Structure 1
Amino acid sequence: MSNPWIVIAITVGLIASSAFFVAVEFALISAKRHRLEDAAPNSRSARAALRSASELTVLLAGSQLGITVCTLALGAITKPAVHHWLTPAFSNWGMPLWIADVSGFVLALIIVTFLHLVVGEMAPKSWAIAHPEKSATLLAIPMRGFMWITRPLLQSLNSMANWLLVKVGVNPVDHVGSGQDPDALRHLVEHSTNVGALDAGYSAQLSGALDMQTLTVRDLLPSNKAPTSVTTSATMNHVRSVSKQSGHLRILVRDNGVPLGIVHVRDTLLQPDHTRAEDIMRPAFTLASDTPVHLALASMRESRNHLAVVTDERTTVGIITLSDVLSRLFPRSEPAI
């Protein structure tokens, strides 16, 4: 190709295409999925980015295919053209033809490699990492179009790559895991506390929140402490007396040791003294003993229950209150002596 303007135009197009594929690759890996989900209702590009993120291996195959094609095209078109331009110039400077030819080849290789590496790869990579969600949404629709055209080829290449991974004992995945697991976060909290970057009080609260992923309501049950309760025949005076002695506003109502409901001392204030507890009690909110604490907290908040009866295969093993859960999440720090 002897026309330099055509070569320059093709070179610019190939480098721009390579930059596009590199930016798409790093943008989808770096972008936070929850931010794309937040923008998806009002953005077609964000929805396209989410679809690409859900089939990340196919997208990466498309990016790698595009980068490889651009690299080969630069080597087949731009490098020979630059070599062809430089060799006569070196020869006119008095160099022997073979030295001019070698010098032109080496310099053409350096020029093309520099343009492709810096302009076509490193610059777009840095931009995509610096603005992941913006670059992901900006480039999503054109990339979806490229994937639609080349999907049969991409799926074939991806299937072959996954087959090789399975043969060496690796389980292929189609998306990047987001966030950190509780163990990694717990280690980060402990390290930050040890080096003085995190206050001990905040450390205890964060550790308590992380423990909620593994704790069950059985772990919150007070040891050797019977719940405050009254019988179904207890009068309002008796309920208020028990509440005053225990300091609890919600009193468990039992019948032969079986929890039947809950009486709030507030409900006794407008009732005649001879009213029985069973007449005003509310149904008891129950939780299985193996219920995770975070699910128990969500259930208690949704149902607006501050007290729950904990059962184990129809056997009552204790009660927990909302304050039990919150005190585990926000433990009281010991005063400094």
Structure 2
Amino acid sequence: MAHLIEPGLTMLVGSFAPAASHAVAVAIAFALITMLHIVLGELAPKGLALQYPEGTSLWVARPIKGFFVLFRGPIVLLNGIGNGVLRLFGLPPASGHELVHSVEELRLLVTGMQQAGVVEASEARIAARAFNFGDLTAGVLMTPRTEMDALPLTATREQALEYARSGTHSRLPIYDGTPDNVVGVLRVRDLFKIVDSTVPFDVRQFMREVLMVPESKAADDLLDEMRSSGRQFAVVIDEYGGTAGVLTLWNLLSVLVGGIVTADVADDTLEIIASAEADGTRELDGLTRLEEFEEALRITLAPEDHDDADTLGGLVMARLGHVPETGEEVEIGGYHVRVEEKDGHRVARVRVTRVPVTSQTEEA
């Protein structure tokens, strides 16, 4: 290549042309080699693998295995030298656990695969929920005690059948004295056996052992425990030993797949989105989880908001600093949240309205 460049350089640098031509030729050759290495060694193979992942994997598996066996010695030697250099600077060599992808890296990989069309949007959403699943706890996912349906241990046949007819739950916790003393769980379908029975009724005949878990129990650990024990219902206990709420296997699975929609159960996030009026105003349940609120309205709350509360009603109460009265409002994530209805001391319903842009500008 140098002899092709030299005539042109002679006109510019004269007698320095031979030396200059070699330097320019080296630079051009290096640029060409680098370009070919990137295109043929990375971009093109990566594109081929993304388009045909299974076929590409099968085609390159044996050559890569042979390459590893052939060059295993040099690979081990170079890794040893690299680890030795790290030790000289007082740094520990990377272990096998540190060489795997972190959760954040996996999120980026899934996002990139979705953008490339390798995975569907629904699959990417399930993967994202799975990455966050381990950060959730039983206390976050449970149905709180104030919303819990339960049956006393002294319930009569008529009371039990009335619960079965009017309720929408497949299982009911059984308590002795107060709901803080849950002693078992009843499958509603077991009550069908006593509809026409004349045998004296005792709820203990149908009661099953119930799983008790603390509020701090991680969602993934609880799912494993439910699967291994074959139970689908758990009572969540607070730090004082009282009943904080109840949790079902259905609740856990709904978090992973984004809401299992049936005739009676709708995806909470979709419900929030669909509830918007023409001007964007929404009326939401005070028990709406903050994660669902963020996802549906495409906002991100401050970390301290999640520390203060798990639900929208709880966050309103935390922001105000007292038990709110109907009509009080607070701004959350660029929205006015107004208390519309209360259930005792609990915020039952709120009205959510977007803060006008002009108001936000003036405040800024």
With normalisation by structure 1, the TM-score equals 0.52
Equivalent-residue separation in structure 2 for 1:181 and 1:313 (angstroms) = 36
State the partner residue of 1:144: 68
**Cα 1:166/1:176, change in 2 over 3 Å:** farther
Equivalent-residue separation in structure 1 for 2:39 and 2:107 (angstroms) = 34
Q: Once the 2 structures are TM-superposed, how far is the Cα of residue 158 of structure 1 from its aligned partner?
A: 1.0
Q: Once the 2 structures are TM-superposed, how far is the Cα of residue 241 of structure 1 from its aligned partner?
A: 2.0
- C-alpha contact 1:235 1:276 (8 A) present in aligned 2: yes
1:321 aligns with 2:248: yes
State the partner residue of 2:82: 158
Instruction: Say which of 179, 185, 190 aligns to 1:267.
Output: 190
Secondary structure of 1:125 counterpart: helix
1:277 aligns with 2:182: no
**Cα 1:313/1:231, change in 2 over 3 Å:** same
Residue type of the partner of 1:336?
A
Equivalent-residue separation in structure 1 for 2:38 and 2:141 (angstroms) = 54
User: 1:43-102 deviations in whole A, cap 9, x for unaligned?
Assistant: xxxxxxxxxxxxxxxxxxxxxxxxxxxxxxxxxxxxxxx77xx59x97xx9xxx965742
**Cα 1:176/1:307, change in 2 over 3 Å:** closer
1:175 aligns with 2:99: yes
- C-alpha contact 1:249 1:265 (8 A) present in aligned 2: yes
Q: Once the 2 structures are TM-superposed, how far is the Cα of residue 277 of structure 1 from its aligned partner?
A: 0.8
**Cα 1:157/1:122, change in 2 over 3 Å:** farther
- C-alpha contact 1:216 1:290 (8 A) present in aligned 2: yes
**Cα 1:298/1:292, change in 2 over 3 Å:** same
Matches within 5 A, 1:33-44: none
Higher relative contact order (CA 8 A, sep 6+): 1
Residue type of the partner of 1:124?
G
Equivalent-residue separation in structure 2 for 1:128 and 1:221 (angstroms) = 48
- C-alpha contact 2:184 2:207 (8 A) present in aligned 1: yes
User: 1:76-131 deviations in whole A, cap 9, x for unaligned?
Assistant: xxxxxx77xx59x97xx9xxx96574266346525643553344554323234324
**Cα 1:315/1:182, change in 2 over 3 Å:** farther
Give the unaligned 5+ runs of structure 2: 112-120, 260-267, 278-364
RMSD across aligned positions (CA):
4.7
**Structure with larger Rg:** 1
State the partner residue of 1:335: 275
Q: Once the 2 structures are TM-superposed, how far is the Cα of residue 278 of structure 1 from its aligned partner?
A: 0.4
Secondary structure of 2:151 counterpart: strand
1:253 aligns with 2:174: yes
Give the unaligned 5+ runs of structure 1: 1-81, 189-198
Equivalent-residue separation in structure 2 for 1:162 and 1:233 (angstroms) = 70
Structure with greater helix share of residues: 1
Structure with greater strand share of residues: 2
Instruction: Say which of 163, 166, 169 aligns to 1:242.
Output: 163
User: 1:8-40 deviations in whole A, cap 9, x for unaligned?
Assistant: xxxxxxxxxxxxxxxxxxxxxxxxxxxxxxxxx
Equivalent-residue separation in structure 2 for 1:121 and 1:249 (angstroms) = 59
Equivalent-residue separation in structure 2 for 1:290 and 1:282 (angstroms) = 24
Equivalent-residue separation in structure 2 for 1:276 and 1:110 (angstroms) = 91
Equivalent-residue separation in structure 2 for 1:253 and 1:295 (angstroms) = 25
Q: Once the 2 structures are TM-superposed, how far is the Cα of residue 223 of structure 1 from its aligned partner?
A: 4.5
Residue type of the partner of 2:104?
Q
1:286 aligns with 2:177: no
Residue type of the partner of 2:187?
H
**Cα 1:243/1:205, change in 2 over 3 Å:** farther
Aligned residues with identical type, % of pairs: 18
With normalisation by structure 2, the TM-score equals 0.48
Number of positions where the alignment pairs a residue of Structure 1 with one of Structure 2: 233
Instruction: Say which of 31, 39, 44 aligns to 1:127.
Output: 44
Equivalent-residue separation in structure 2 for 1:148 and 1:327 (angstroms) = 47
**Cα 1:182/1:126, change in 2 over 3 Å:** closer
Equivalent-residue separation in structure 1 for 2:106 and 2:65 (angstroms) = 35
State the partner residue of 1:113: 30
